[in-house]
Homo-oligomer: A and B are copies of this chain.
């Protein structure tokens, strides 16, 4: 497994692989890898990639002031071992200084899908995501890139970026990986105390319950009352709801019904930890 730290080295290598006709997959991560990330690597392999590049970069530009950029968990050694075990063929560990050179001044902005949900609560977040992902695409020359469904809005924003900037690659979205309890795997779960972990279960339970009910009801359920009930159940469990929304799974526009083709998304604070989760109905 190759380890790259310099963007130019990765690019040169990727260019050579590409010219040799090898199929490259990119798995962009912020590290502190868990089973969710490993499933993305597994997906890349299942899709027939000859080279699987995992990038591990806590991207400062996608954190807002006051967020957890400094304390975001990092463990390079463990990440390396996990990448190797999962079948990655290259790992890219850049530094903020070599990704954002002196007087860095170019950003990619998405103006539609990134306005609501997490974008409304985290100003500049998706600008940071789009910018770093565009850079990674240009550095790793992937034939396809794999993202997790847990960051549903992110996956849709990236798809739109690929379409609108004509990136010559495919986006693959892999399903959410959950702990046996139902909790969506996240590097940020490491912040949770035992009691917070217990509270967090209300999120996946509430989402699954709503999805189940909506599937049984012909034409789905009215969104407003269903979301109000879901929000109430989260509050009752001791979480502070950031948002509970039901949107069209493609356009991310608010949907008046929880029904086929919609996505229900939750963001909630569990103590000081912000958790997100979603279900496609």
Contacts and interface: CB of A to CB of B under 8 A. Distances in A.
Interface residues of A, number: 35
Given A11-B166, A165-B138, A168-B138, A109 B112 contact: no
Interface string A139-169: 1010000000000000000001101111110
Contacts of A108: 106-109, 165
A230 B11 CA distance: 46
B101 A105 contact: no
Contacts of A112: 103, 105
A229 to B, nearest CB: 32
A106 B138 contact: no
Contacts of A11: 166, 168
A254 interface: no
Interface string A1-36: 000000100010001001101000000000000000
A107 B106 contact: no
Contacts of A19: 18-19, 21
Contacts of A21: 19
A134 to B, nearest CB: 5
A164 B105 contact: yes
Contact of A111 (B105, B134, B139, B160): B105
A107 B114 CA distance: 13
Interface in A165-188: 165-168
Contact of A166 (B138, B164, B167): B138
A21 B19 CA distance: 7
A141 B109 CA distance: 22
Contacts of A135: 164-166
B110 A161 contact: no
Given A165-B134, A166-B11, A168-B11, A107 B111 contact: yes
A202 B152 CA distance: 58
A101 B166 CA distance: 11
Contact of A109 (B107, B139, B165, B251): B107
Contacts of A15: 168
A7 B166 contact: yes
Contacts of A167: 138
Contacts of A110: 105-106
A132 to B, nearest CB: 10
A15 to B, nearest CB: 6
- Chain B CB within 10 Å, residue with most, of A111, A113, A164: A164
A110 B103 CA distance: 11
- Ranked nearest first, the 7 interchain pairs of A and B with the lowest CB-CB distance are A105-B112, A106-B164, A138-B166, A105-B111, A135-B166, A106-B161, A106-B110
